[in-house]
Amino acid sequence: MARRIHVVLCTDGVFPQAMGGMQRHSRLLAEHLAATGRIRLTVIHPHTPGIFDPALGIEEVPVAPIDTSRFYLRELWRYSGRVAKELDRLKPDVILSQGFCVWKGIDRSTSRLIMHPHGLEMFQGLTAKERMLGTPFRMAVRYMARRSRAVISLGGKLTGLLQDAVRGSSAAVEVIPNAVDVPPEVPYVTGTAPLRLLFVGRFAFNKGLDLLMDVARRLVREGRSNEVRFELAGDGPLLEGIKAEGVPDNVALLGRVDDERLFQLYTECDAFVLPTRFEGMPTVVLEAMARSRPIIVSDVGATAELVDKSNGWLLPSGDAEALYSAVNELLRSTPEQRAAMAHASYERCARQFAWPQVTHRFVDLFEEVAQASRQRV
**pLDDT confidence bin for 173, thresholds 50/70/90:** very high
Same domain (yes/no): 51, 164 = yes
Residue 190 covered by a domain: no
Same domain, 92 and 215: no
What CATH number did the domain enclosing 100 receive?
3.40.50.2000
Per residue in 100-130, pLDDT (tens digit) is: 999 999 999 999 999 999 989 888 877 788 8
What pLDDT digit, counting tens, does each position of 231-254 carry? 999 988 988 999 999 999 999 999
In this prediction, residue 46 carries a pLDDT of 97
Q: Which of 36-40, 68-72, 164-168, 321-325 has the lowest mean pLDDT?
A: 68-72
- Asked, for residue 185, whether it belongs to a domain, the answer is no
Number of domains within the chain: 2
**HEC profile of the chain:** CCCCEEEEEECCCCCCCCCCHHHHHHHHHHHHHHHHCCEEEEEEECCCCCCCCHHHCCEEEECCCCCCCCCHHHHHHHHHHHHHHHHHHHCCCEEEEECCCCCCCHHHCHHHEEEECCCCHHHCCCCHHHHHHHHHHHHHHHHHHHCCCEEEECCCHHHHHHHHHHCCCCCEEEECCCCECCCCCCCCCCCCCCEEEEEECCCCHHHCHHHHHHHHHHHHHCCCCCCEEEEEECCCCCHHHHHHHCCCCCEEEEECCCHHHHHHHHHHCCEEEECCCCCCCCHHHHHHHHCCCCEEEECCCCHHHCCCCCCEEEECCCCHHHHHHHHHHHHHCCHHHHHHHHHHHHHHHHHHCEHHHHHHHHHHHHHHHHHHHHHHC
Domain that holds residue 212: 195-352
Do 248 and 155 share a structural domain? no
- On whether both 97 and 132 belong to a single domain, the answer is yes
